A and B are shown apart, each in its own frame.
Chain A
Amino acid sequence: MDAFFLYSSIYLSAVMVLSLYRAIFGPTVLDRLIGVNAIGSKTTALLVLIGLVYHRVDMFVDIALAYAMLNFIAVLGASRYFQKIKGLYDEPGRR
């Protein structure tokens, strides 16, 4: 079972790289925010998986819980901040 958890966490990291493309090259700021949010919610599962691999679930579960809340607050704060800036989404290359 340990090997299964190890391979699934490696696969999960590979999936996170796919979301990282949107977080880096996304056309607008909010697209990058979506990418960051997706990576954060995958990290929550990845942290519990790492705990299972190292046999220290009781410690890593607390970190995952804190990370889930922190991800939510970060997305709320970033979206509240970026909605105040009006001309931000007119990308310089497009017009």
Chain B
Amino acid sequence: MDIVIGFLLVCGLLFFTGGSIGILRFPDFYSRLHPAGKLDTMGLLLSLLAMAVYVMMDFSIASFLTGLKILLIVVIVFVTSPTATHAIVDAGVRAGLKPWTKEGGGGV
């Protein structure tokens, strides 16, 4: 069981690293949203799943409730993260930011 937990947690940390490096490397605001919003969500899902499995391993009512709370965090993040991403995109569009394209228009 320890191997499963370790594997999930390392995968989650890998997704977190990808998200951070993607924020640094991508050329403009719109494309930076792709790693920021979603790779972080996936990393959070995997790492919190690992922690929930670790907490629920020695079974009692208290630890079961704690594991359920951790899964509740995952559900909340899965609902709210696209909404937050959409709010940021909407702010960018209304302020008139031009998206970066390969042909060399716009962008920051």
Q: Is the CB of B19 within 8 A of A38?
A: yes
Inter-chain contact total with CB atoms closer than 8 Å: 137
A14 to chain B, nearest CB (A): 9
Q: Is the CB of B21 within 8 A of A18?
A: yes
Q: Is the CB of B20 within 8 A of A76?
A: no
B interface residues with partner A (beta carbon < 8 Å): 2, 5-6, 9-10, 12-13, 16-17, 19-21, 23-24, 29, 32-33, 36-37, 40-41, 43-44, 47-48, 51, 54-55, 62, 65-66, 69-70, 72-73, 76-77, 80-81, 83-84, 87-88, 90-92, 94-97, 108
Could you say which of A58, A65, A91 contacts B72, with CB atoms under 8 Å apart?
A65
Q: Is the CB of B69 within 8 A of A61?
A: yes
- Grouping DSSP codes into helix (H, G, I), strand (E, B) and loop, the A interface class, with mixed when no group exceeds half, is helix
Contacts of B55 in A (CB 8 A): 52, 57
B47: nearest residue on chain A (CB-CB)? A45
A16: nearest residue on chain B (CB-CB)? B20
Would A52 and B72 be within 8 Å (CB), given that A19-B20, A30-B91, A82-B91 are in contact?
no
Question: Which bracket fits the contact residues of A?
Answer: 35 or more
For A8, A21, A22, the residue with the greatest tally of chain B CB atoms inside 10 Å of its CB is A8
- Name the interface residues of A37-66: CB closer than 8 Å to any CB of B: 37-38, 41-42, 44-45, 48-49, 52, 57-58, 61-62, 64-65
